[in-house]
């Protein structure tokens, strides 16, 4: 491998890096694994560069490699949802990275064009078997023809069409009845006030005021930890039992607003008793509806770096 060869290759594939990462993220449900598999895709592409005949676009060739790399990982490390349907390996995806993708009619624009990055969708497709998931992503999201999808997966067009039907049935089963799209621009003044209240009362350790921001039937989970809490009393009671509001026992919070999977997300920093620094604790990805928070999914604080958040305050 010479330096000029490597430079030329990097220049060719670099513009596809982010959309391939999103593809791997959909396949795997994990941001960290998606980053690793994107690198693996480029490594495999470099090793196979002499086999690229140019019959398909470079982009399509890279998607073939990425899909097979993800399927290889899923075959070696199979994963299944918990009995209550939780996807314990799920991680959030930073909205800031999605802004690096093409827009409009540019190649790759379909990657984020159809509500296919939100967490509800990610949870639903993770319930699908890996090859069925690959068919759904290639056909419905990327717009591949059945023939090309069958060639990639080394199967028949009939098998691809059958898998797509099963995928649609699986989505219908696992997607919530009501879904909504979010963006920073779509937040109403009431929504922004709700987020401000959620952050302020968290920092104040005011459980009673925080309760007013939550729906009666709010849902809370903490991937990769098992368990789902349902209902305001159960959710808030669990937080209080864990020390929320007791500065001397748990510590003091600071909150920073960011965005993940098209949803508002609150980065929670905690300063423990005796410490002088606020350190990453959890990233709360929120669902808002009718003036209250209907779901909180809390992810690990070690993901803060991917969101461009500081490692201390």
Residues in the chain: 313
Other C-beta atoms lying within 10 Å of the C-beta of residue 168: 12
Does 165 lie in the same domain as 48?
yes
Please write the tens of the pLDDT for every residue from 97-126.
988 776 555 555 555 555 788 899 999 999
Q: How far is CA 12 from CA 5, 58, 143, 204, in A?
A: 11, 8, 22, 51
Structural domain total, the chain? 2
* 145, 174, 203 - which closes a domain: 174
Whole-number pLDDT of residue 178: 61
Whole-number pLDDT of residue 4: 44
Give the integer Cα–Cα distance in Å for 150 and 134.
11
What tokens does 279 get? 């350190």
Highest mean pLDDT among 41-50, 93-102, 107-116, 140-149: 140-149
Q: Is residue 179 part of a domain?
A: no
Whole-number pLDDT of residue 13: 78
Q: Is the dihedral of CA 22, 27, 32, 35 positive or negative?
A: negative
Instruction: State the alpha helices, DSSP H only, in the chain.
Output: 3-13, 17-28, 31-47, 58-76, 95-98, 119-126, 130-136, 146-153, 157-174, 189-204, 207-211, 232-241
Whole-number pLDDT of residue 107: 53
Whole-number pLDDT of residue 164: 98
Q: Is residue 12 part of a domain?
A: yes
**Quick check: 29 pLDDT over 80?**
yes
* 116, 144, 174 - which closes a domain: 174
Write down the residue that tokens 């028949």 correspond to.
Answer: 156
Higher pLDDT, residue 66 or 118: 66
Higher pLDDT, residue 59 or 258: 258
Does 207 lie in the same domain as 153?
no
Whole-number pLDDT of residue 115: 73
What tokens does 82 get? 């918990």
Give the integer Cα–Cα distance in Å for 9 and 173.
43
User: Residue 274 sits in which domain range?
Assistant: 184-307
Please write the tens of the pLDDT for every residue from 200-227.
999 999 999 999 999 999 999 999 999 9
Does 133 lie in the same domain as 48?
yes
Domain containing residue 160: CATH number: 1.20.140.160
- Which of 6, 20, 13, 33 has the alpha carbon at shortest distance from 89? 33
**Quick check: 182 pLDDT over 50?**
no
Give the integer Cα–Cα distance in Å for 80 and 202.
34
For a pLDDT cut of 90, what percent of the chain falls above it?
75
Higher pLDDT, residue 71 or 115: 71
Q: Is residue 312 part of a domain?
A: no
DSSP label of 94:
B
Does 167 lie in the same domain as 22?
yes
* 121, 141, 174 - which closes a domain: 174
């Amino acid at each position: 491998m010479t330096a000029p060869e490597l430079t030329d290759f990097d220049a060719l594939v670099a513009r596809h890096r982010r959309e391939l990462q999103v593809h791997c993220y959909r396949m795997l449900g994990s941001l960290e694994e998606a980053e690793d598999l994107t690198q693996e895709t480029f490594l495999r592409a470099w090793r196979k560069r002499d086999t690229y005949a140019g019959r398909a676009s470079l982009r399509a060739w890279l998607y073939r490699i990425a899909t097979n790399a993800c399927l290889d990982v899923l075959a070696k490390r199979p994963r299944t949802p918990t009995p209550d349907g939780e996807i314990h390996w799920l991680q959030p995806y930073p909205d800031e990275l999605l802004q690096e993708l093409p827009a409009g009619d540019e190649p790759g624009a379909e990657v984020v064009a159809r509500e296919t990055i939100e967490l509800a969708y990610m949870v639903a497709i993770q319930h699908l078997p890996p090859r069925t998931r690959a068919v759904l992503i290639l056909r419905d999201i990327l717009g591949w023809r059945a023939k090309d999808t069958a060639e990639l997966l080394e199967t028949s067009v009939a098998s691809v069409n059958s898998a797509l039907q099963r995928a649609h049935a699986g989505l219908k089963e696992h997607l919530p009845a009501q879904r909504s799209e979010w963006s920073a621009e779509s937040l109403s003044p009431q929504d922004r006030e709700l987020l401000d209240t959620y952050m302020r009362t968290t920092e104040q350790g005011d459980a009673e005021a925080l309760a007013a921001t939550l729906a009666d039937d709010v849902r809370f989970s903490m991937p990769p930890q098992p368990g789902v809490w349902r209902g305001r009393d159960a959710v808030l009671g669990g937080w209080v039992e864990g020390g929320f509001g007791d500065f001397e026992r748990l510590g003091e919070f600071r909150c920073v607003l960011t965005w993940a999977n098209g949803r508002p997300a609150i980065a929670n920093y905690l300063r423990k008793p005796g410490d002088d620094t606020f350190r990453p604790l959890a990233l709360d990805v929120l669902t808002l509806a009718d003036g209250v928070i209907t779901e909180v999914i809390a992810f690990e604080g070690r993901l803060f770096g991917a969101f461009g958040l500081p490692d201390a305050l």
